[in-house]
Structure 1
């Protein structure tokens, strides 16, 4: 029996900022992505072009829908940080030590490699594709890196691990860092505001201002759910990347606490 395939809805494809870009070649999109880092539309266009292909490859592997969505986001997270290295050659493309006949083939190879990795159980995956399209997640994570170390710490611990400010203050006090609840709340509010400001304007327009079609439109403060959708990781785990900007279901297992402490130490070290 032939397995029926389904693909994620990509409302981005219909956005007036994205539609004209879909006629550009892969080389043009990659070069624009590399040279115009203040714009996110080129990555979104590549996502719209190759998202269905990646999703179909993952579905053919026979994973559950929850695991497919998890892997789908993880693939695009990796591509986001790899597109900077893509070079077009007469033979195709070169990305570091990897070579392929085309960008399409290289993306398929990357997807196939990731499929071989061990996956967390379905009960540990909290990622919801509809809530956190991969381009938005990637740019939120990138903008988080621009925050001050303390603001990053407050956002990661309160929004990702659901710690209260009182609990965070107690932890910092044990580390010899004394802050009032008012100071921590100020860092939380400032972090939530700044992380939106650091997003490329076109990413804000595409994902956080869907009813506004002009880049000159005034910014709209998104909800907390829009800023921090469900985490794309196994509970308590950490991908080899900048700190995540997503909400997850934190558990009190030993592994999750160890990973959380390692995250804190990395953030505090600035």
Structure 2
């Protein structure tokens, strides 16, 4: 039987400070303040168990469930900026919308076999994963390419250098680590400060989950 994971970020002071906010308030604040990640993190903590319980029925292994769970939250994150909730708390459709997005994700995503999944929930919890991916999209093209080739493709410095030279970028292998460090620094700066505080981890390790 698959299990619902625990979410340690629920106990973080930043998330706990939002406990009295309604779902509608959290969604509205997330939309008004995209530079802050705490409102999305609070929604994730509040409804993570519900979403995970839904995706469990579509897969066979815990690893597949965690992967599909993360994909569902990535879909939720992508759609959240435009959802409109009813002003009347009694008429809110937030939970229905959340379940609908999760259901659509299950229907559209072909979950790979467990052996092919590199994502782990502990390494990159969905809120951190979502903001890392958004930050990666904001990086300068060269920085993004070197980070992706290093982390997702597992290429060595010499191979990265050879590829870049083929693309007209004359960067010797011994300079690749400097570009990579700069890329990590740029990526970290692109992640909201409150998300960095909640997860308190180096960006390089979590970037390994981006694929």
Cα drift, residue 20 of structure 1? 2.3
Residues 144-179 of structure 1, C-alpha deviation per residue, up to 9 Å, x if partnerless?
222211111110101111111210111122233322
Cα drift, residue 180 of structure 1? 2.2
Q: Counterpart of 1:87? A: 84
The alignment status of 1:139 with 2:131, answered yes or no, reads: yes
**Which aligned runs of 4 or more in structure 1 are off by greater than 4 angstroms?**
none
8 Å CA contact 1:5, 1:56 repeated in 2: no
Q: Counterpart of 1:228? A: 207
Q: Counterpart of 2:33? A: 36
Task: Normalising by structure 2, report the TM-score.
Answer: 0.90
Distance 1:167 1:41, change over 3 A: same
Task: Normalising by structure 1, report the TM-score.
Answer: 0.71
Distance 1:51 1:106, change over 3 A: same
Partner residue of 1:104 out of 95, 115, 118: 95
More helix by share: 2
Q: Counterpart of 1:130? A: 122
Q: Over aligned residue pairs, what C-alpha RMSD do you find?
A: 2.1
Distance 1:134 1:159 in 2: 18
Corresponding residue SS for 1:131: coil
Q: Counterpart of 1:77? A: 74
Distance 1:91 1:205, change over 3 A: closer
Long gaps (5+) in structure 2: none
Distance 1:5 1:177, change over 3 A: closer
Distance 1:197 1:133, change over 3 A: same
Cα drift, residue 182 of structure 1? 4.3
Distance 1:152 1:23 in 2: 38
Partner residue of 1:45 out of 26, 42, 56: 42
Long gaps (5+) in structure 1: 93-99, 210-221, 231-245, 249-270
Higher relative CO (Cα under 8 Å, sequence separation at least 6) belongs to 2
More strand by share: 1
